[in-house]
Structure 1
Amino acid sequence: MFNNYPKCPNCQYQRDESDKLMNAMMCPACGIIYDRWKAKRQTVKPDIDEVEVQLTMSLYESLKDCFLSVPHQVDGMVFKGRVFAYLVIIIWGCYFMFGGIDWQNIGSSFLHNVNLAFHEFGHVLFMPFGDFWMILGGSLFQVLLPLVVMLAFSIQQRDNFGAAIMLWWCGQSFIDVSPYIADAQSRSLPLISGLGKESHDWGNLLRMTNNLHNTDFIAQSSFTIGCCIMLLSFIWAGALLLKQKRVVR
């Protein structure tokens, strides 16, 4: 019966015969001007969408420029050296990944001694924050340091290939920690401090957080995270080498 009367697009009020004396262009219920309301909705929303798209594209381009940029020219010998380094981290990474959480396999690597030095420094660095953070600080600093160096390579030095190698090191550090976590219940691994089982970092951490029953899960999670980070470093470094190949002189 009232099909000839407009319905308010804002409040959905349906005009009827009783509203014929009211302004035909204004909603009697909420007071909007139909044409102005529609025009505003049509112009503002595309503007917001356009801004969101521009911000997304700008962020994408910034990240791409930061982490995928390569030099305009690359010396041939330098490129070959990077290809060699790439093969080394792939082979070495596979050695760790396929070896599983095995102390003999992981602890016998010279890289374990490198990680151990930073691990011990982490305890000292986090000591002012209390016992829990002092204990966790060893493993935490061990895995965070490569990420800090990675950002320095990428942002400050503009050396993304070096940054990818540092990301690989971060993954290896997670793998390096996993046997220590797995040993939390038995506490059978030899400790550098020589203080005995009571100074076992992860034995204490998991006891303090009532997570000793989750030892295997946490150790496996650390190992899996390390493997995933290593795989990401392979992809990143490989993509950079493909881009550098085009500018070798």
Structure 2
Amino acid sequence: MIVAEASVLRCPKCQIERSDGAEECIRCGIIFAKYRPLAAKTHPSPTRSTFTESTWFLTAKEWMVESDASTESMTFYGRAAVFVAMVWWGWKFIVTPLETNYTGESFLHLINLPFHEAGHVIFMPFGRFMTILGGTLGQILMPMICLGTFLMKTRDPFGAAVALWWTAESLMDIAPYINDARAMDLMLLGGVTGQETDGHDWNNILTMLDLLDWDHRLAHLTYNAGILLMLGSLLWGGILLLRHYRRLSL
């Protein structure tokens, strides 16, 4: 590039003054007409890798979307039926207030319950606090394990989206239990309320953490996290279903 200082022309390489109209430098011998493209090639402007070109994004896209290559029509219709059920049931969970305990009274609560109780047993070696918390961990970890298995073992992203939906529902199922930590009005396993026994998990957990007054806030935080995950699972499943449909049309 030719540098001009007070109308004085200089060589872009050695900075010696040069006469107007000269084609090459009398000191270093460069040809001015060829120096500009050479400099541009030697000193390329740095380029930023975009978000969509980052390694982790491409890896996530491969695992979560592109690994699904099914073209079977029966699989598509089965997935479509499951997706409709997810949308219908999920919408009822999302629009129903936490305080109604709709999730706790749904059929899926009975699915979550064995994993909840198993969690108490599994975490028993880690002390009383973890034994109590283990119930909640058990019912949340089980769908997460399914999610990981579908995603990494069987390479079934749609199955993983369903498992994410289940994880979200499980969080929403726990929220009324947290919300009841002080009131202890919910009916527990065995047909008694928390007021009649010392077996109310979240009353014990929050009491041990000295956070009992936070029960409603933590419950709503958990419920809202479940809603966000559920919406994410529906978006994920919908994208996969649309891609599957397009493969059928090819």
Q: TM-score range by the shorter chain?
A: 0.7 to 0.9
Find 1:91's aligned residue among 88, 93, 108.
Answer: 88
> Unaligned regions of 5+ residues in structure 2, if any?
1-41
Give yes or no for contact 1:101–1:179 (8 Å, CA) kept in 2: yes
Question: What is the match of residue 209 of structure 2?
Answer: 209
SS in 2 for 1:224: helix
**Deviation (angstroms), 1:143:** 1.2
What are the residue-to-residue correspondences of 1:176-187 with 2, within 5 Å?
A: 176-187=173-184
What are the residue-to-residue correspondences of 1:14-163 with 2, within 5 Å?
A: 57-163=54-160
How far apart, CA to CA, are the structure 2 residues paired with 1:153 and 1:73?
14
Question: What is the match of residue 226 of structure 1?
Answer: 226
TM-score (ref. length: structure 2): 0.75
**Deviation (angstroms), 1:144:** 1.9
The 1:230/1:181 distance shift into structure 2, 3 A limit, reads same
Aligned residue type for 2:57: Y
TM-score (ref. length: structure 1): 0.75
SS in 2 for 1:167: helix
The 1:153/1:138 distance shift into structure 2, 3 A limit, reads same
> Unaligned regions of 5+ residues in structure 1, if any?
1-41
How far apart, CA to CA, are the structure 2 residues paired with 1:144 and 1:76?
32
**Deviation (angstroms), 1:213:** 0.9
**Deviation (angstroms), 1:246:** 1.7
Higher RCO (C-alpha under 8 Å, 6+ residues apart): 1
SS in 2 for 1:78: helix
Give yes or no for contact 1:187–1:197 (8 Å, CA) kept in 2: no
Q: CA offsets, 1:61-89, max 9 Å, x none?
A: 11110111254342112211211111110
Query: Alpha carbon RMSD of aligned pairs, Å?
Result: 2.6
Give aligned pairs, total. Answer: 207
Question: What is the match of residue 26 of structure 1?
Answer: none
Identical-pair percentage:
36
Give yes or no for contact 2:144–2:164 (8 Å, CA) kept in 1: yes
**Deviation (angstroms), 1:53:** 7.2
